[in-house]
Structure 1
Amino acid sequence: MDEIFTQDPKVETENGDWYEANRLYLIAAIAQVEETLRRHATPNLQLKPTALRDAGQIAAAMSPPPALEKFCNTFNLLDFDRDLLLLCAGMELDANWGNLCAAAAGNSQQTYPTFSLALRVLLAPDWAALTHDAPLRWWQAIQVGPGNSLMQSPLRIDERVLHYLLGIEHRDERLVNYVDLVPNQDIQEIGLPPSHRYLVNKIAGVLGSTDGLNYQIVQLCGSDLAEKTAIAAAACTMHGWNLHAMAADRIPTDTDDLANLMRLWEREALLSNSVLLLECDAVDPNDQNRDNAIARLIENSNNPLIVSVSDRRHPRKRPLIAFDVEKATSSEQQAIWRSALGELAESVNGCVEKIVANFNLSSPAIYATCREVQSQNETREELDVALWEVCRVQARSRMDGLAQRIESAATWDDLVLPDEQRYILREIVANVRQRTKVYESWGFADKSTRGLGISVLFAGASGTGKTMAADIIAKELRLDLYRIDLSATISKYIGETEKNLRRIFDAAEAGGCLLLFDEADALFGKRSQVKDSHDRYANLEISYLLQRMESYRGLAILTTNLKDSIDRAFLRRLRFAIEFPFPDAEYRQQIWQRIFPTQTPTQGLDFGKLAQLNVAGGNIRNIALNAAFTAADAGESVMMKHILQAAKSEYIKLERPLTDMEVKEWV
């Protein structure tokens, strides 16, 4: 050990190199134990008592104090505990340490530290030092290896503790699969809006207080995990703490495994000055074992803890201080966009307002969007288009797992409808496009927060153009259209349908999408009279849907084949209701005239005769497509004979007879 201690500790400390000074202090502290071992190995050996003086000089000049001193104070180690820890640390740092242990123990085979050796050579020996509830064993600072007895078993310092004593930041490898560090630099780059900074101050105050026994536990309620993480990290930064995140689905459900994980984390939190963010947002509500494990972790936590949830979690015994994390207001989001864009903000000034009107992104998502666009090196003329498209992609990440995204190239010219219906569709587009101006700039939102959502009902027979109309609206607004799978939304279990709807609406709140509830009468039929508990809960599902549609800032479209099956009270709360009529011969002829792409070769088609087929536009498309395949396979242009063959197949599918009047004089 003496050959390692070659530098003047005063010089290193005055230069401000804490890590080097800490290393020298640890070497000097271990040298004290080394002198003790040598005295017992060779009683008449004369040693210079310099180690104690050197360690004291180094510690006096260090700020903050050495890691060893901080560790002893944090975990309440006695002098004997400290020396026993150093006895084990010397084994890892000095190649000759095993021989010293053997010589001091008088046993050439015992080339490792043991509790027997420690009781023999160290000052103030304490038998209780290695009991399971004593600090060294409780915090797993020392591990007892296999042996015939506790006294003779080899002792080893924990690797994480050794790194800490050396001043090295190294996360316990046993926590790697459970806990992730939230990088401070990522959070510092994000400018939080005033409403969130207010929350940060309140949360920081709660985290720093105790109820006399334990730290208070904070619960952050909201739909955006990234936003809650940024707020939690900012609150921790105010105390100089680090933030680590743990997904709740990683928590072991076995009681012993959970207790061991909590012990390791509590030690890690003290060593790294950290707070845990427990992410419960994606936990399956039906997983009772997982819920119980989360409850045990919360109830038994002895460190500052932040719990992230979508819905407020009800405490069992220990109170949770809850904060609702709302989305930033439109004006706050505009300020964040301009800050994130920097010098480019002036180039897209008009685009920022449009983006905020359609995309409700969190602060982290806004900064990520701007970084991505800036990396693309777009020209200033293309910047607004690039921003818009990246925003759409950001919003998709939350919706793609919940609904089917529909993409189509249909245009207004492809939609054959009476002028009255086309006018209402244009009116819907205007409502979505101008909602920010009307609601906020013109003050309608100040009058009432109810009814600000734009909800629409499309009613009509299958194939009359309802889905195409929704897709055209989405394309006109440059937004994504998502079809909601009602079979996956409706649940026979009480309360599950509302949870499914909530996940959809919460994800859609990020903006950039239109919701299409296809065949909506399956979910939004006439509200039943309450005859049993299931009827009562079915009505609650509809009431929840009405409430979410009224508050949803985007456009929700419901389609039904049977308008009469929709409750009249429900219809009154919709902004628009459009009846898609079954096309008569005139409109069917227009559909036929537009159904074939310009590249498709056709020959001798009589659209007036084709219009005699008494089918809707969706069926016409199927017939035209199948006829094109038949003609292509025959190496011919599309002719009446190919359409006749395809029409027969379509009518068989519809279980309808193809009458002579419909195909009279076709071929």
Structure 2
Amino acid sequence: MTLAPGRAAATADGAGDTTPGVVADADTAADERRDLTVAELTVARARLRGADPAPAERALAGVRARAGGPAPLDVLQDRLGLSAFERSVLLLACGPDLVGDVARELAEHGGGPRLTFATALERLPGAHWDALTHRRPLRRWQLLRLADPDAVLTSPLVPPERVVHHLVGVEGLDEQLELASRPLDVPARLGETFAALVGDVVGRWTEGAPVVMRGPQPRTTRALAAAACAAAGLWPRLLGADAVDPGPAGPATTLQRLVRETVLARVAWVLDVDEAAPRAVAELGRALAGTEAPILLVASTRPGGAALDALGLPVVEVPRLGAGERRAALAGALADAGAAAPD
């Protein structure tokens, strides 16, 4: 996954401007995304039935021409590396949850109310057998699951509710991740030193690597992490490292969902490792190997933070500001509040 430019965060909780004009624009955009998805689904349904897809393709082209932005599937394909076949598989697997008649059509032409891989291989163009391997995007990023893992060809393919909602323009977060995390406030102003650190983090993200931010003042370190997320056009959310799945699969499964949410909801994740045991930090580091998502690990400079040194991740040290920059920051805060800074 690559860090794509986006609109900077407007508020700490991920909600944008709620003025009437902005809400209307958001509703229009959601309607356009839904229309694009349904129009493309019509093409896939024609192929499922063995009908000529050309009329549906012409209708889709018209919807695309009227839309003001990309389709949700465009974003998923671009950022998660879906092939054209995998895109069609995902869409048709979501079909029964989007349009009621799709379940009936799948039952008539595929043997059941849910898409199977066997039906996809037979009916959809560009088929390739590795589309459902764990290394490919559909399963790696948990976009689909096999209802019966022991029957790859005949198992129904089931999408998570979160992905279905995304395809029709419904905004939100993965429910479990939303409960386990909280939004971070983005500081209104940064001094020269802190602004440079934020720029350093964003630069390292564009090179494709998670980053460690470490400093003696946890509140300041978190604030700078939030500023880095906003500078990259992403919503910052704080998640304790102990909330990253410690189960048999380790943290890898949760990290995959974090990456999925970065694509779906434009969220950057700030993982607080201060209270995590060194062993848990090491497991997290191994799971992060090769991850290109914008993830920040934040820690204090207490002895427990030493476990981060073994991870091999880029480290941005957050210093205490000198007296001059502290005074300038306080004066700026007073000015923002309409008060004059005393000499």
- TM-score between both structures, scaled by the size of structure 2: 0.79
List per-residue Cα deviations over 1:178-218 (Å, max 9, x = no partner): 43333xxx425x3333432333233333333x2xxx42x43
Deviation at 1:255, TM superposition (A): 5.5
Q: Superposition RMSD on alpha carbons, in Å?
A: 2.9
- In the other structure, the counterpart of 2:203 is 205
Instruction: Map residues 162-561 of structure 1 onto 2, 5 A cutoff.
Output: 162-182=164-184, 186-187=185-186, 190-208=188-206, 210=207, 214-215=208-209, 217-254=210-247, 256-283=249-276, 287-299=277-289, 301-311=291-301, 313=306, 314-316=308-310, 318-327=312-321, 329=323, 330-342=326-338, 345=339
- Given candidates 34, 38, 63, the residue that maps to 2:45 is 34
Partners of 2:53 and 2:132 lie apart in 1 by 31
Residue pair 1:193, 1:336 contacting (<8 A) in 2 also: no
Residues 80 and 319 (structure 1 numbering): CA distance in 2 closer, same or farther, change over 3 Å?
closer
SS in 2 for 1:74: helix
Distance 2:286 2:130 in 1: 29
1:143 is matched with 145
Please report how far the alpha carbon of residue 28 of structure 1 lies from its aligned counterpart in structure 2 after TM superposition. 0.6
**Paired residues of 2:262 and 2:293 also in contact (CA < 8 A):** yes
Contact kept, 8 Å, 2:132 with 2:139, in 1: the verdict is yes
Superposition deviation, residue 52 in structure 1: 0.6
Q: Are residues 26 and 315 of structure 1, via their aligned partners in 2, closer, same or farther at CA, if it must alter by over 3 Å?
A: same
Instruction: List alignment gaps of at least 5 residues for structure 1.
Output: 1-13, 41-46, 354-667
What residue in structure 2 maps to residue 402 of structure 1?
Answer: none
Deviation of the 1:15 alpha carbon: 11
Write the distance in 1 (CA, Å) between the matches of 2:250 and 2:182: 19
**Residue of structure 2 in register with 1:85 after alignment:** 90
- Sequence identity, in percent? 24
Cα distance in 1, alignment partners of residues 204 and 113 from structure 2: 51
Q: What is aligned with 1:22?
A: 33
**Partner in structure 1 of residue 5 of structure 2:** none
Q: Which has the larger radius of gyration?
A: 1
1:66 aligns with 2:67: no
| Residue 327 of structure 1, CA deviation | 4.3
**8 Å CA contact 1:30, 1:90 repeated in 2:** yes
Q: CA deviation at 1:61?
A: 4.2
Amino acid in structure 2 at the alignment position of 1:117? T
Query: What's the counterpart of residue 162 of structure 2?
Result: 160
CA contact (8 A) 1:98 1:111 kept: yes
User: How far apart are residue 121 of structure 1 and its match?
Assistant: 2.0
Instruction: Provide the secondary structure at the position in 1 that maps to 2:315.
Output: strand
Structure 1 341/206 Cα, relative in aligned 2: closer, same or farther at 3 Å?
A: same
Please list every run of 5 or more consecutive structure 2 residues that lacks an aligned counterpart in the other structure: 1-24
Q: CA deviation at 1:24?
A: 0.9
Structure-2 separation of matches of 1:256 and 1:280: 19
* Residue 333 of structure 1, CA deviation: 4.3
- State whether residues 118 and 154 of structure 2, in contact with CA within 8 Å, keep that contact through their aligned partners in structure 1: yes
CA 1:297–1:327: 2 relative to 1, 3 Å: farther
8 Å contact from structure 1 (residues 67, 165) kept in 2: yes
**How many angstroms apart in 2 are the aligned matches of 1:222 and 1:135?**
36
Q: Does 1:75 align with 2:80?
A: yes
How much has 1:145 moved relative to structure 2?
A: 0.8
State the distance in 1 between where 2:245 and 2:114 align. Answer: 35
Cα distance change of structure 1 residues 131 and 252 upon mapping to structure 2, 3 Å threshold: closer
Give the conservation status (yes or no) of the 8 Å contact 1:193–1:328: no
Return the alpha-carbon distance in structure 2 between the equivalents of residues 147 and 194 of structure 1: 54
C-alpha separation in 2, matches of 1:136 and 1:162: 14
Letter in 1 for 2:330: Q
In the TM superposition, residue 100 of structure 1 has moved relative to its aligned partner by 0.9
CA distance in 2, matches of 1:81, 1:226: 43
Distance, in Å, in 1 between the alignment partners of 2:120 and 2:53 is 22
- Deviation at residue 123 of structure 1 after TM alignment: 2.1
Q: Residue in 1 aligned with 2:3?
A: none
- Give the deviation of 1:95 after TM superposition: 1.6
**What residue in structure 1 maps to residue 17 of structure 2?**
none
The offset of 1:97, in angstroms, is: 1.8
Conserved? CA contact 1:194–1:332, under 8 Å: no
Deviation at 1:68, TM superposition (A): 1.0
Q: Which amino acid aligns with 2:106?
A: C
Quote the offset at 1:237 in angstroms: 2.3
Would the alpha carbon gap of residues 156 and 252 (structure 1) be closer, same or farther in structure 2, given more than 3 Å must change? closer
8 Å Cα contact 1:132/1:138 also seen in 2: yes
Tell me if structure 2 keeps the 8 A contact 1:246–1:279.
Answer: yes
2:127: which partner in 1?
A: 125
Change (3 A) 1:331 1:317: closer
Cα distance in 1 between the residues matched to 2:114 and 2:212: 48
8 A Cα contact 2:250 2:283, kept in partner:
no
Which amino acid in the other structure matches residue 144 of structure 1? L
- What are the equivalent positions in structure 2 for 1:612-631 lying under 5 Å apart? none
Helix, strand or coil at the partner of 2:201: helix
Q: Is the 8 A contact 2:32 2:68 kept in 1?
A: no
Kept in 2, the 8 Å contact 1:251–1:293? The answer is no
For the residues of structure 1 that align with 2:249 and 2:149, how far apart are their CA atoms?
Answer: 24
Letter in 1 for 2:167: L
Retained in 1: the 8 A contact 2:43–2:53? no
SS at match of 1:334: helix
- The alpha-carbon distance between structure 1 residues 341 and 135, as it changes in their structure 2 partners (threshold 3 A), is closer
For the residue of structure 1 that corresponds to 2:37, the secondary structure is: helix
For the 8 Å contact 2:216–2:318, the answer to whether it is kept is: no
Q: Which residue of 1 aligns with 2:106?
A: 101
Deviation at 1:279, TM superposition (A): 1.3
Could you say what secondary structure the match of 2:152 adopts? Answer: coil
The offset of 1:168, in angstroms, is: 2.3
Letter of the aligned partner of 2:60 in structure 1? A
3-state secondary structure, aligned to 2:186: helix
Q: How does 1:586-601 map onto structure 2 within 5 Å?
A: none
Task: Give the count of matched residue pairs.
Answer: 313
